Amino acid sequence: MRRFNPISPGLLAGRLTELFLQRQTDIAHAGQPHPLRVALDAPGWVDLEPLITGVAERLAVRGHPVATVRGVDFYRDASLRFEYGKTDVESFYTGWLDTAALQREVLKPLGAGGTGSYLPALRDPVSNRSARTPPVPLAAEAIVLVRGELLLDTGLAFDIVVHFSVSRQALRRLAPAEEAWALPAFDRYEIDVDPAGQADVVLRYDDPSHPALFARPREE
């Protein structure tokens, strides 16, 4: 049974900032500095913007620019996503996110030995049109926050993973009625992947104004 300690949103932003900077320092000391690649693993209905803004502001003050990437901007073409309909749970769980593209265009080039430039978006998830955005260079001291859902156990290369654990009751409250069909995918994710067991930081996030924190060091 995991124990979560309540923490204020401001203190949480500060704690994550320090954790990210320490991990980036460790990477630099290892001899291959590169932008820190952070996974923010949370259901899309969860509002992470205040926390992301708080972390980004604190990092900027410390001289570390922040880039954000949305998983939805790396969804596969609609013809593939909706091959079995727009409410197929299996397709959503295994096939909406183009993990190969996210790895190729963002995570690999920002990793050790990479080009240092990333593609901010691949495709508009609503219009299904190519985003046509040029690659953007990032300095080694930068931090890229990849905000998406069902990110773990997909082969994606992150330097640190933050998992936002949300109860089924809270998800039912947050999910719009027309999107409630996707809820079983998150039940399966908890059972098959155990994201809280894989993440470096686990947050109880039923209410973003009253988060709770459980953290453990990554096993080497």
Give the C-alpha separation, 144 to 178, whole Å: 31
Q: Is 132 left (phi over 0), alpha (psi -120 to 50) or beta?
A: left
Q: Which domain holds residue 26?
A: 5-215
For residue 220, is it within any domain?
Answer: no
pLDDT band at 207 (very low <50, low <70, confident <90, very high): very high
Lowest average pLDDT, out of 65-69, 127-131, 132-136, 216-220, goes to 216-220
- The total number of structural domains that make up the chain: 1
pLDDT band at 107 (very low <50, low <70, confident <90, very high): very high
In this predicted structure, the answer to whether residue 215 has a pLDDT above a threshold of 80 is: no
CB 9 within 8 A of CB 58: no
For residue 100, is it within any domain?
Answer: yes
For residue 194, is it within any domain?
Answer: yes
Q: What is the mean pLDDT of residues 70-75?
A: 98
For residue 168, is it within any domain?
Answer: yes
Other beta carbons within 10 angstroms of residue 207's beta carbon come to 10
Give the C-alpha separation, 28 to 33, whole Å: 4
Residues 6+ apart with CB under 8 A from 205: 42, 46, 164, 165, 166, 211
Nearest of 189, 172, 191 to residue 90 by alpha carbon: 189
153-172 pLDDT, tens digit each: 999 999 999 999 999 999 99
For residue 83, is it within any domain?
Answer: yes
pLDDT recorded at residue 4: 86
pLDDT recorded at residue 219: 41
Mean pLDDT of the chain: 94
Q: What is the CATH number of the domain that holds 194?
A: 3.40.50.300
pLDDT recorded at residue 218: 47
174-189 pLDDT, tens digit each: 999 999 999 999 999 9
For residue 58, is it within any domain?
Answer: yes
Q: What is the mean pLDDT of residues 132-138?
A: 94
The answer to whether the predicted template modeling score (pTM) of the entire model surpasses 0.85 is yes
For residue 37, is it within any domain?
Answer: yes
CA dihedral 15, 31, 163, 129 (to 10 degrees): 120
In this predicted structure, the answer to whether residue 76 has a pLDDT above a threshold of 90 is: yes
